[in-house]
A and B are shown apart, each in its own frame.
Chain A
Amino acid sequence: MKLARTAIDWGKLAPLRLHAQGVADGVYAGWHRSRRRGSGIEFGGHRAYVPGDDLRFIDRHALLRHGEPLVRQFETETDRTLCLLLDASASMSFRSERGIASKFAFAALLAAALAKVAVSGGDRVALSFIARNPSNELATSGGRQAFERVVGALESIEPSEDLHADRGALERAVVRIERRANRGANVVVFSDLLDLPDGALELLGGLAARGRNLCLVRVLDPTEIEFPFTGPVHLRALERPTQVETDGASARADYLAALAENERGLQQELLARGGRLLRASSGDDAIAIVRRILDALGGRPS
């Protein structure tokens, strides 16, 4: 279902590049020491060139042989690729008066800041979206340009799709990440974990397999966390056709309990698969959240 609300509400987070750089500067750059160097890297085969690939890895011999650009792939035991997966469904476009920006904008800030930190540490970054037809995904890349590409890709997506019934979109996104993230890669998923298709958590939890570090960041708006309504309210979900008429004051406790129960279930599910769940409020300090993510990934230097 295509919803009317399409553009990202960046709020106070625009421009993303500067804010992400500021957040990254607040975090200690180089959260691990695995800068890829020539030795110890084993050739892992060729693949087709995609824009953004490092030109140094184009295999000129293969180009002459096959007539098309191919890049060489390497495998290393210390691959710390950062794979970012952002939920671009309609519910992520929500922003209340209490939030400084929409949930997607806040997630994009966190993702961009993480990318900056990773690139600064010499790691490569990949970016993917949970969307029906993502066109701005970034293959694994590193270097100074990688951050700029990540920011550009984040700024060009529109979280507008109703994906609660589209399990395929999630599956495709997970497959893409699994393809790009080798053993030891860090996978960070940003989602509000609302209105996702059935079995979504199993799919996402699968990203923690094969030695990958999975951190699932649940991004919520302050209103979704606090439920500040009073009096009669009529609430409507952004994806499912759900509408609720209730009394704010008397429903608050039940809602908060339901939310806590929901998170407890997610936490247990994820922990069982080796992943970690963090909650981030779009009204919170982004630096602290990034640090928590780094802590959760276990790579932050002391």
Chain B
Amino acid sequence: MTFLVTAALAVGLLVLAPIVAHLLRRGRARIQDFPPAGLVPPKRSIARERSRLEDYLPLALRGLLVLCLALLGATPFVRCSRVSLSRQRGASVALAIVIDDSQSMRLRNERGVRWELALKAAHELFDSVREGDAVSIVLAGKPARIALSATMDLRAARHVLDELTASDRPTDLAAAVQLARSSLSGLAQRDRRVALFSDLAGEPPANGELPLWTPAPELALRADDCAVTSAEKHGARVEVNVACSSPAAARGRTLTISGQVAKATLVARAGTQTLELALDPKQKAEDVALDGADALALDDRAPIASASSSLGILVVEDTADSRVATGGPPPLDQALAALDADAALRSVALLPDQADDFAGLALALLDDPGGLTPEARSALTTFVERGGVAVAFLGPRAEHAPLGASFEPFAHGALRFRGDATSDAAPQSFAWLGPEGQSFSGLSPRGHVSLLAADLLGARTLATFSDGDPFLTERALGKGLIFTLALPTDPAQSDLVFRPGFVALLDHFLDEARQRRGAGKSVAGSEWTFDAASKVTIRGPRGPVDVSERALVNGSPRKFAVVDSAGRYALHIDDASEERVVTLDPEETLAEPHALVAGSAQAQIGAPRSETNVSPEFGMVALGLLGLELGLRAWRLARTRRITSVQEPRSRAS
């Protein structure tokens, strides 16, 4: 607060002047010597009566007027607590509002629930938007998504803002900020801003062309919380994962199975801890719960999922070929384990030839297969048609398929490995993979399987080499998907497995597998897809879940649903019923919130000030008070005259 503001506000103290003057006047009269005091009659009551406040209303009006004038004097400098948008020379603004709807935003810190604080601040900011401004709204819960594309229809934008709800999703702030920035590109407004309403837990967003503004820094205040992220039943015991943000949040808290006597006490430390509880087979066990209180009660209880709910992954590989010089498991196994720690990974050398062997599997990865026998083909096709995802990393062995073996359902006919091919991967064709797709630049493999000439059975190409040869293809088969890559994972052929894009690619396969097979256990924010299903109903912990349809390239619609709340879900797919459990991402509890540090984009933004000039409002109030006092005086004068005019004739008559 500057000296001018202080000085202007100090004028407001004048409101006390008439009251102080009155109190001084009302005080005891000065004692005076007066010898004949004994002859003076005491009239104390009258003396007090005269010193009483006589006109409360005018005094109040004048006091308010003085206050208004003081504030009016200070208003050009007053920093209003409301978040508002300042403008450079009054020009229109393109504003992207990024609201973090991840689970960590549900927590209550010392100022309140983060989500409610964020919505309040976003509404305040939106109130300062005017006609001509463009607004887009992006949600930062994983996966980041655009809730509203940039629009100048402010009513629609307000409606979207009003409809936002919190979720249990993980955070995907970097992608959300990127989406927000891209949503403002191409707009006519020169002044573009990205307002971020997030606790900034986890990785800070990268700096970009458009600076970030965090108008609600109170969201980054700490909150002590423990969350039951998952609970899984293994025989006669339940394995529970608990994440705590601080030792204080975990201290003295006990984990119990609802309706049972088994208990386990948390260790008072920050981080994740796994506790085991013995099950009483005679009692029903549905949930585990933490006692005590913390910043969020919702995450203190979690449903118990069965062990088979983990995502089953089958890897068919020759460990001798896939081995890396530094030792350890094959890079494919390492990457999968890193992506999904809960996944049930099964590594085999030969593809099973019985359909039953695929039971419990969601994803089958075939590394440089040397052809598929008819039985294996049949079993794999059945697996995919039932909703599995199969991926083939084709390599040099593709040329040496034994008699009777083929690569169906990946490709029809013989395949040729072009060892002389010097073409590189075309990174731009991996744009759909995100920023990691650019990492395939300069891959320069020793050769690749030529899929251009192969019969891909109607598969569509997702990525290509620089010479136009398909790098990755995708084909829908029944309820499942088939991916074909023209490169193996063998480090001797290329450093494909060492590129960040490879992990992103595997993550994409895992997502597809989860969506199709509907892994019994998935993280909040996951999308469940239901290919070839005609009727799907889902009921979750917060009521029915909307099931939508998305048109695919081939024209057949695909049903899908997004589950953004943790808990137990009951699904009815056509005539079958199943149960799934949605868990929490422990990172949402463990990641420390933080503010954007000085020197980052926040400091370079030019600080769109959250100042509001309320001079007109205070001026109007002051004028109103003045008018009120004048009206009051006029009314009193008129009343006095009326009384006088009534009394005079009476006195004359008397």
Interface residues in chain A, defined as those with a beta carbon under 8 Å from any beta carbon in chain B: 91, 94, 192, 194-195, 220-221, 223-224, 227, 231-240, 242-247, 250-251, 254-255, 258-259, 262
Contact = CB atoms under 8 A, between A and B. Distances in A.
Majority SS at the chain A contact face: mixed
Among A240, A247, A251, which residue has the most Cβ atoms of chain B within 10 A? Answer: A247
Given A235-B32, A259-B39, A262-B39, A250 B46 contact: yes
Question: Which 8 A-B pairs give the minimum distances between C-beta atoms?
Answer: A91-B35, A232-B47, A235-B34, A237-B37, A258-B39, A232-B29, A234-B29, A235-B37
A255 B43 CA distance: 12
Contacts of A239: 35
A96 B279 CA distance: 103
Contact of B41 (A91, A233, A237, A251): A251
A254 B35 contact: no
Contacts of B575: none
Interface string B31-51: 111111111111110111011
A245 B51 CA distance: 13
Contacts of B43: 246-247, 250-251
Contacts of B38: 194-195, 237, 240, 242, 244
A26 to B, nearest CB: 29
B89 interface: no
Given A244-B42, A245-B29, A246-B42, A237 B50 contact: no
Contacts of A258: 39-41
Contact of B35 (A194, A247, A250, A251): A194
A217 B46 CA distance: 36
Given A232-B47, A247-B46, A251-B43, A242 B37 contact: yes
Given A195-B38, A258-B39, A247 B50 contact: yes
30 contacts: A94-B33, A94-B35, A192-B36, A220-B36, A224-B34, A224-B35, A224-B36, A233-B29, A234-B31, A234-B32, A235-B34, A235-B37, A236-B31, A237-B34, A237-B37, A240-B38, A244-B41, A244-B42, A246-B41, A246-B43, A247-B46, A247-B47, A247-B50, A251-B40, A251-B41, A254-B41, A255-B40, A258-B40, A258-B41, A259-B36
Interface residues on chain B, size class: 20 to 34
A221 B32 CA distance: 14
Nearest to A254: B41
Interface in B115-171: none
A94 B37 CA distance: 12
Nearest to B26: A232
Contacts of B44: 245-246
Nearest to B27: A232
Nearest to B44: A245
A241 B332 CA distance: 109
B642 interface: no
B282 interface: no
Contacts of B50: 231-232, 247
Contacts of B48: 232
B652 interface: no
B28 interface: yes
Among A232, A238, A251, A255, which residue has the most Cβ atoms of chain B within 10 A? Answer: A232
A224 B51 CA distance: 25
Nearest to B39: A258
Contact of B47 (A192, A238, A245): A245
B184 to A, nearest CB: 73
Contacts of A235: 31-34, 37, 40
A243 B31 CA distance: 9
B111 interface: no
Given A245-B44, A251-B41, A236 B33 contact: yes
A244 B36 CA distance: 10
Contacts of A221: 35
A293 to B, nearest CB: 22
A4 to B, nearest CB: 11
Contacts of A232: 29, 47-48, 50-51
A91 B36 CA distance: 9
Given A235-B34, A251-B40, 4 more contacts: A194-B36, A231-B47, A243-B31, A244-B41
Contacts of A194: 35-36, 38
Contacts of A224: 34-36
B42 A238 contact: no
Given A232-B51, A244-B42, A255-B40, A237 B35 contact: yes
B53 to A, nearest CB: 15
Nearest to A245: B44
A214 to B, nearest CB: 23
A255 B41 contact: yes
B650 interface: no
Contact of B37 (A220, A231, A244, A247): A244
B40 A246 contact: yes
A280 to B, nearest CB: 15
B40 A238 contact: no
Nearest to A195: B35
Among B28, B32, B42, B47, which residue has the most Cβ atoms of chain A within 10 A? Answer: B47
Among B33, B40, B48, which residue has the most Cβ atoms of chain A within 10 A? Answer: B40
B42 A245 contact: yes
Contacts of A251: 40-41, 43
